[in-house]
Structure 1
């Protein structure tokens, strides 16, 4: 009898739940960092599936682990799908960082912590040469370029990643579980290097709610449009999608246009353009392309380029605005190809010279880099390239960019199909910036 009683006591205790283990929903995941646009700061963003506190513990690489702490906010994001899934988005801003210094961090709370991760604070001033990887149209099915980008990021090859629209394919699918999986995939890049974004057409569901809630870009427009400075460059990210999803508000076209005009005016003040002479834009749908899919960029009257005359009031396009304010380089995606254009304005080529087209060009230069890899595979080109098309490729890949100084900018296209081979190179050389450069 005594032995039987002892057996039941042991069985009951062994079968009891271990209450000290936190539920999975409290564990941080999908960690990524982005630049706030304010010097000496960075914002850490992550997701949990239950509400918890939002803390980052961090310290200088090589110093005492987690010597510093910062607390942030936790906001509820309810997906628009049938299940109405609830996700909790955590944001913590780190301040007073030492420029160019590496930091080790983890994020979460006493309910659960992330892995130990690291990032390098953005350097200050304009006298340095930032390096970028840039691409659009990366999905979690067929992400051809992801492995190479993961390795190169962790090797320290980049200061910033620019993702120019179209994420996951699509973040809202399966009640936003596809978005969760994509954000887990890119953590191996985005948790180490500022991951700067712009919205694409594949983010449109529920008024771009997955995009607006998952990313943390500078400014107060829920990451739809913003600008920031890095090295000798002023970078502007904006939404081409305001021209195509009028059901979310025609006024967005005019709000964005007004913001762009003010931002460009400020960037062109002599004291600002002297410090940061390069003005670079990034947005999803290009003004020009030589693809054969009947997208906006294949049409002479492109909405993005010249606006819409079927709205009341008429919606202004962006090509003239960017030309009038001396934008140097325009980065695009959307087409699942790579295409480099000659300097172009109004469908006319304005090369610097026949021998050196990108030395002191007389119009902006356009780059389309939307071939990182997704379930929709490649896009095709029309057989004969347009006069303004300089180089094009259907290889999967991405673009590297380095802004060396106030006069020289370097771009190269990496082919993932060809095992990382560089298939295109461009030096953009400008002894003068602003509208005076066009004359």
Structure 2
């Protein structure tokens, strides 16, 4: 009897500890705010979710109320989950804050973050195509780098978890809990890839909280300013899924967003590649991928001319599971110069494919007899290298972006094969 009671106590404690899970931060677009999002598997009737925060672990003196969204997974059982969102306001740049989320039913552990000081250089990890089952090695490296205070933000450019909706959403739960050790401490910005399309982007819409765009406000495309940079995330899946109305709405929003942009640097991200090397002689040229670049008159407005017209500096994407940096390109033409590692006043956007953050390790849980959405890494040795290609790498890793000021930014490729990370492709972009 004593043993049974002890076991029941442990089970109840474990269940209670799991009531608040998947805590992650994101930017709202306002410099003095930080958004926190978390999830519970059960509803909170007559209970208000909130975040408590302050300058010390024992001094969580400020409180912000949250809002709750209940939503059903698209699986046959329609599993319900409850996403809670709260915004911490009036934060001081550079200040470390401690916080805890939950409700009177249960609270999370205490986490902390440093409110971005946008007068300092920006450091960002950018990648796509990260799996929970094949990507643990990369997740571990990102956690280690976060503990060393190497990032100000992390941006995931589509294809999360492989897939968020698998196993009635439990794969998404596993992924979000696995990344909590970095996403609860550093803003984690996301948008959709092809693996998030299912059921009208159900999981990407309901699990996250991205800056509002004033059109749909559903996390699928957004922008924000950070220091000298204007970041733009676009939904290439509108094109791949032939969603003409949505592509036009996004294009109109993008036109206005670019016209109002006054930042020195403009960085655009989307999931599907426009240019890269592959096993095909023409490289990346799948119809679904290049439709957003070229467009179809009166149906799908092409994006490349608009981005070039507004002098976008850097374009990043994923989808192909490898890394490749390219020369500045416009309309298939590469603009080469003397030093591919140092470009000044680029006449067109520089392109980086950064979809190789998956890990070689694959250890599925015992319960998994078939893992849908698993993907394999692409090695440049199997590709026909294109004339516009500068550097292609077969290692697993992510792009590390540093924006120093209004005239200099750098990118590098971080190999995640060891915990410390190896930098394999230093690149400098300068402008007057």
Q: TM-score, normalised by structure 1?
A: 0.87
Runs of 4+ with deviation above 6 angstroms: 17-22, 293-296
Tell me what 1:376 maps to.
Answer: 375
Structure 1 96/410 Cα, relative in aligned 2: closer, same or farther at 3 Å? same
Distance 1:295 1:152 in 2: 37
Distance 1:366 1:357 in 2: 14
Tell me what 2:278 maps to.
Answer: 291
Tell me what 1:314 maps to.
Answer: 299
Tell me what 1:42 maps to.
Answer: 34
Q: Give the secondary-structure state (helix, strand or coil) at the position aligned to 2:344.
A: coil
In the alignment, which of 48, 51, 54 is matched to residue 59 of structure 1? 54
Structure 1 295/23 Cα, relative in aligned 2: closer, same or farther at 3 Å? farther
Tell me what 2:122 maps to.
Answer: 130
Tell me what 2:78 maps to.
Answer: 84
Tell me what 2:164 maps to.
Answer: 171
Structure 1 157/354 Cα, relative in aligned 2: closer, same or farther at 3 Å? closer
Tell me what 1:409 maps to.
Answer: 409
1:5-49 residue CA offsets vs partner (Å, 9 max, x unmatched): xxxxx99xx79x889979649711000000100120011100001
Distance 2:86 2:156 in 1: 21
Query: Contact between 1:285 and 1:296, CA under 8 Å: does it hold in 2?
Result: no
Distance 2:346 2:232 in 1: 21
In the alignment, which of 230, 233, 241 is matched to residue 237 of structure 1? 233
Q: TM-score, normalised by structure 2?
A: 0.88
In the alignment, which of 259, 275, 278 is matched to residue 265 of structure 1? 259
Distance 1:356 1:332 in 2: 20
Which of structures 1 and 2 has the bigger CA Rg?
1
Distance 2:389 2:423 in 1: 19
Matches within 5 A, 1:207-218: 207-218=200-211
Q: How many residues align?
A: 406
In the alignment, which of 99, 112, 123 is matched to residue 105 of structure 1? 99
Distance 2:385 2:12 in 1: 64
Structure 1 295/107 Cα, relative in aligned 2: closer, same or farther at 3 Å? farther
Q: Give the secondary-structure state (helix, strand or coil) at the position aligned to 1:343.
A: strand
Structure 1 22/302 Cα, relative in aligned 2: closer, same or farther at 3 Å? closer
Distance 2:281 2:386 in 1: 15
Structure 1 96/314 Cα, relative in aligned 2: closer, same or farther at 3 Å? same
Tell me what 1:4 maps to.
Answer: none
Query: Contact between 2:341 and 2:427, CA under 8 Å: does it hold in 1?
Result: no
Distance 1:355 1:298 in 2: 24
Distance 2:134 2:411 in 1: 25
Q: Give the secondary-structure state (helix, strand or coil) at the position aligned to 1:92.
A: strand
1:349-396 residue CA offsets vs partner (Å, 9 max, x unmatched): 223546776122211100111011063121244544111110101211
Distance 1:295 1:186 in 2: 37
Q: Give the secondary-structure state (helix, strand or coil) at the position aligned to 2:150.
A: coil
Shift of 1:416: 2.3
Q: Where does the alignment leave 5 or more consecutive residues of structure 1 unmatched?
A: 1-9, 432-439
In the alignment, which of 327, 336, 345 is matched to residue 360 of structure 1? 345
Structure 1 147/418 Cα, relative in aligned 2: closer, same or farther at 3 Å? closer
Tell me what 1:156 maps to.
Answer: 149
Shift of 1:95: 0.5
Shift of 1:236: 0.5
Q: Output the aligned Cα RMSD.
A: 2.6
In the alignment, which of 265, 273, 293 is matched to residue 305 of structure 1? 293
Report the more deviating stretch, 297-306 or 181-190: 297-306
Shift of 1:314: 2.9
Q: Where does the alignment leave 5 or more consecutive residues of structure 2 unmatched?
A: 360-373
Distance 1:207 1:296 in 2: 30
Shift of 1:302: 1.7
Tell me what 1:115 maps to.
Answer: 109
Shift of 1:225: 0.7
1:111-155 residue CA offsets vs partner (Å, 9 max, x unmatched): 11111101111224xx42110111110010111311111010121
